[in-house]
Amino acid sequence: QVISVEWRSEKSLDAVESVKSELAKGSILAGAAITGDMLDPAKDATALALFIPSSLSPKHVRQVSRALQQAVEDERIARSGIDRAMLTRLADQPEPLTTRISPAGSEAKERTELRLLVPGAFMFLLWICVFTSANYLLTTTIEEKSNKVMEVLLAAASPMQLLAGKILGYSMVSAVMLLMYGGLGIA
Amino acid sequence: PPLVGTIVVVDPSDTIVPRAKAILETP
C-alpha cells in the first residue's frame, strides 16, 4: 500500500477549530488533538480527539488512529522512564503447563485444543448426516410423486406407513454414514 | 487505496508527530 503522508504539528490547542475547517474544505486527510494530560504517565490514558472527513475509508481511519494511539502509548512509557521491553516482560503472564494426574498416579499432558476439537468434529459430522439425509428424503419423495411410483406404493401401504418407513430408512442410512465417518475418525 | 494527504496534530509537546510518522510508515 502506498503511504505518502505529510505530518504537521500545531502547538496551540486553539488550532483545533482551524483543523476542523480545513477538514471540511477537504484540504487535509485527518486531524488529531493531544493534550498534555494525555501524555502524563501519572494520569489515566484518556481518549484522543481524532477528526476525519466523511469520505475517509474505515481502513485509513484504523491506520491513522492506530499510529496515533501507539505514538501516545510510546510517549507515555518514555516519560515514565520505564524500559518498554521490561514493561512487556513484567506484563507477560506465565503460561500454565498443566498435567492431569489420574487416580492411579499416571501423568498426562493437558491438551485443551484436542478436548474442544473432538466434540466439535463430531457435532459437524452429525450436522452433515442430518442435512444429507433430510435432503435425500425430500428429493426422493418429490421424485416418487412426480413419476407416479407413489400411487403404486400407496395402493399397498398407508401414507403414514410410507413416510414412517422412509424416515426410518434414511435414519438408518445416516446412522451408517455416522458410524463409517466416526469409525474412520477414531481409527 | 493509497493513503495520501496531510495529517495535522495539535500537540503542545510536539512529540507525537515523529513517533506517529515512524509507526505509520513501518509496514
B26 interaction partners in chain A (CB closer than 8 Å): none
- Residues A40 and A79: beta-carbon distance below 8 Å: yes
Calculate Rg over the CA atoms of chain A: 33
B6 interaction partners in chain A (CB closer than 8 Å): 5-8, 27-29
Give yes or no for A57 touching B (CB within 8 A): yes
Indicate yes or no: CB of A27 within 8 angstroms of CB of B6.
yes
Give yes or no for B26 touching A (CB within 8 A): no
- E-strand spans in chain A? 3-10, 30-33, 49-51, 99-101, 107-109
ipTM value for the complex: 0.95
Q: What is the Cα–Cα distance from A59 to A65, expressed in whole angstroms?
A: 10
Give me the residue label for grid cell 400407496: A154
Give the cell for residue A178. Answer: 455416522
* Tens digit of each residue's pLDDT, chain A (187 residues): 788 999 999 999 899 999 999 999 999 999 999 998 899 999 998 899 999 999 999 999 999 999 999 999 999 999 999 999 999 999 999 988 889 899 998 998 888 888 888 888 889 988 988 888 888 888 988 988 888 888 888 888 998 998 899 889 988 988 898 888 888 878 8
Indicate yes or no: CB of B9 within 8 angstroms of CB of A22.
no
